Structure 1
Amino acid sequence: MKGIVVQGVIGRMRMELPNLPDALQRVAEQILEDPALAAQASIVDLAERAGTSTATVTRFCRVLGFKGYAALRVAIATESGREAQARWETDIDREIEPGDPMDRVLGVIASADARAIQETAARLDLTQVSRVAEAIAGANRVELFGLGSSGTAARELAFRLERIRVPCWHREDAHKALTNAALLGPGDVAIGLSHSGRTREVIEVLAEAADQGALTVAVTSFDKSPLAEAVDVVLTTAVHETTFRLAALSALHGQLVAADLIYVAVAQRTYARTTEAFEVTARAVQAHRLHDEPTSHRRRAAREAADLARPVVPRSAAD
């Protein structure tokens, strides 16, 4: 059962639900309605409540990566029985209302984001992450592409990799991304980020990179999406919505976990180069950092800087 551990099964069902066939959706809905009850029900009981067959329930289990219903029941029982999970579901199931106090709003948001990070950590295939890191560490060129919120995660990964001397670029324009993907070749890496895995521009860029022989990587919430089907490696993230924050707006936390893991794995494999790069870059910006000085000195320096920045007005213009 690769990339799935018990603490992520409920969240995965919620995420996969919209993309499942009708019969499998009914099975998922019955489990999500009362996970504790589903953990105690027999396969026949669950099939009857979902209005389907036991064969469909078995198929549903395999779609989630389980060998059969017994393994799924164990996973559900383990997850639903945890006190932390119960607290999370209490928070997350209640929507944020316009009049809710800030402490409750913060609690719901923090619970959702923490759960997304935990489930992303559970879903990431570490063997595949290592494969990507090895490729990036030795790549001639790395191209990253994402739009909207996914573009933010792509930009952050590019910034980190650049800092340790990885030759990488983040493209915000689809035409630029496509033309640069066409210049990739064997030994290069292209990474596309898309929560839905259905963003046409990202799919086109990764497909072009694949045609040129580059290793292609998708960071997405849906491992059966069109983007996932078009690439060599899929790194699956998790997301939890809250009121006012739909899935695409909540996906960033999981994507950043995946990006951070890739970055650290690359840094591990290029330790000497990374350490030297840190030293060089730290020296380069050192002059722009404020040192601990007496408050009076800092105030005087600030006033002097403000005076230098103030435009000089000719006397004739001031008269």
Structure 2
Amino acid sequence: MSEPEMDGAAPTAVVESLVSDRGAPEDGVLVRVRSLSPEFTGALRRVAEQVLTDPAAASRATIVELAERSGTSPATVTRFCRALGFEGYADLRIGIAAETGRARSAGWTVDIGREIQPGDPLERVLGQIMAADTRAMHDTAALLDLVEVERAAVALAGAPRVNIFGASGSALVGEEMQFSLHRIGVPVWAWTDVHNGLASAALSRPGDVALGISHSGETGETIELLAEASSRGATTIALTSFPRSPLAELSDIVLLTATQATTFRPDALSARHPQLVVLDLLYVAVAQRTHERSHAAFQRTAQAVHGHKSLKDAKRNITPQEEA
């Protein structure tokens, strides 16, 4: 049965803006579907879910078959294709088929799309996790705007002060970034307590940088902290999976990640490795731009802890007789 033509349709201007922001539709069709799906409601959302649930089947299905499987109509599937930047359904099928073919040849699809069952052996669970994480990192690489990474690296390299904000799992990722930047001499703090974070954000000045980490981009505390730093003139960077989230909207620079959820590892947890990949890239980019300072800082910090490492090694080399 035919459905209202606008059922579940995202506003045309929004969709066109999202498509133009993310490059050619051939560059990661499934990444594009995942990124746009939060903007869809109703019928378009159902088509997106069907495509993501079984991309290989979608690449083989006719437009009528995909409409039936998603409980929509061929007209809705056509709107879905146009929302992704394709002229028609044939182009979408070709794009999905090419992407799933590359994934199979690279060994990424061992168990992608299959839920982990309670009785699965660890070998199968390991394969599922590896396949999902590998795919998520490849999708993140396709989605990431290296111009934005460059802008973020330049801002961090010259910042008098850097604040990193995140909650829960994002806080752990933020602390990892704080550790890395600290070792190369960047004045950086990672805040998980809202009160302390707000106090630090309120002391921000132009030239400082505030990095907010949130998979959903909707974590209230992180948004509040980044907004406070922004109001004081700091350059703000968002690391998120949703480019139209509140965190992304208030940030000067947006770095995007992709996720591949599995059973027991929903999006927020499966986002950790892609987040670390992006932050590792950003860290290396900062180190490149501050090479002399970074090299000197590494030498000094390595020398500072050398005595402790030597003591450990000396203890390992002591024979039982000598210890007695």
What is the TM-score with the length of structure 1 in the denominator? 0.83
5 Å-filtered alignment, 1:88-237, equals 88-237=108-257
One-letter amino acid of the structure 2 residue matched with residue 235 of structure 1: L
5 Å-filtered alignment, 1:1-319, equals 6=26, 8-14=28-34, 16-32=36-52, 34-36=54-56, 38-39=58-59, 50-51=72-73, 52-53=75-76, 56-61=79-84, 66=85, 68-69=87-88, 72-82=92-102, 84=104, 87-290=107-310, 297=318, 299=320, 303=323
For 2:258 and 2:237, how far apart are their aligned partners in 1?
A: 17
Alignment partner, residue 3 of structure 2: none
Choose 66-75 or 140-149, whichever is displaced more: 66-75
Do 1:194 and 1:202's aligned partners in 2 also have CA atoms closer than 8 Å?
yes
Is there any run of 5+ residues in structure 1 with no aligned partner, and where? 305-319
Do 2:44 and 2:77's aligned partners in 1 also have CA atoms closer than 8 Å?
no
Choose 73-82 or 119-128, whichever is displaced more: 73-82
Q: Following TM superposition, by how much is the alpha carbon of 1:256 offset from its aligned partner in structure 2, in angstroms?
A: 0.4
Q: Following TM superposition, by how much is the alpha carbon of 1:26 offset from its aligned partner in structure 2, in angstroms?
A: 2.9
For 1:300 and 1:219, how far apart are their aligned partners in 2?
A: 55
One-letter amino acid of the structure 2 residue matched with residue 60 of structure 1: A
Do 1:3 and 1:122's aligned partners in 2 also have CA atoms closer than 8 Å?
no
Choose 35-44 or 21-30, whichever is displaced more: 35-44
Question: Given the superposition, is the C-alpha separation of residues 167 and 71 from structure 1 closer, same or farther in structure 2, using an over 3 Å criterion?
Answer: farther
One-letter amino acid of the structure 2 residue matched with residue 183 of structure 1: L
CA offset digits 1:226-279 (Å, max 9, x no partner)? 111111111111111121112112111011011111100000000010111111
Question: Given the superposition, is the C-alpha separation of residues 277 and 104 from structure 1 closer, same or farther in structure 2, using an over 3 Å criterion?
Answer: same
Question: Given the superposition, is the C-alpha separation of residues 246 and 219 from structure 1 closer, same or farther in structure 2, using an over 3 Å criterion?
Answer: same
Structure with the greater alpha carbon radius of gyration: 1
Q: Following TM superposition, by how much is the alpha carbon of 1:292 offset from its aligned partner in structure 2, in angstroms?
A: 6.0
State percent identity of aligned pairs. 50
Choose 68-77 or 96-105, whichever is displaced more: 68-77
CA offset digits 1:156-190 (Å, max 9, x no partner)? 11111111111111011011111211111211110
Question: Given the superposition, is the C-alpha separation of residues 55 and 94 from structure 1 closer, same or farther in structure 2, using an over 3 Å criterion?
Answer: closer
Choose 10-19 or 218-227, whichever is displaced more: 10-19
For 2:132 and 2:192, how far apart are their aligned partners in 1?
A: 28
Q: Following TM superposition, by how much is the alpha carbon of 1:215 offset from its aligned partner in structure 2, in angstroms?
A: 0.9
Do 1:80 and 1:86's aligned partners in 2 also have CA atoms closer than 8 Å?
no
For 1:294 and 1:178, how far apart are their aligned partners in 2?
A: 45
Do 1:192 and 1:219's aligned partners in 2 also have CA atoms closer than 8 Å?
yes
One-letter amino acid of the structure 2 residue matched with residue 197 of structure 1: G
Is there any run of 5+ residues in structure 2 with no aligned partner, and where? 1-19
Alignment partner, residue 5 of structure 2: none
Instruction: Name the count of aligned residue pairs.
Output: 299
CA offset digits 1:129-168 (Å, max 9, x no partner)? 0001001111111110001111111101111111111111
Do 2:175 and 2:190's aligned partners in 1 also have CA atoms closer than 8 Å?
yes
For 2:60 and 2:194, how far apart are their aligned partners in 1?
A: 50
- Name the SS for the 1:239 alignment partner: coil
Q: Following TM superposition, by how much is the alpha carbon of 1:209 offset from its aligned partner in structure 2, in angstroms?
A: 1.4
Question: Given the superposition, is the C-alpha separation of residues 10 and 91 from structure 1 closer, same or farther in structure 2, using an over 3 Å criterion?
Answer: same
Choose 106-115 or 291-300, whichever is displaced more: 291-300
- Name the SS for the 1:23 alignment partner: helix
Where relative contact order (Cα < 8 A, 6+ residues apart) is larger, the structure is 1
CA offset digits 1:4-63 (Å, max 9, x no partner)? 6746332442464355222321331343355346446787886787324476225421xx
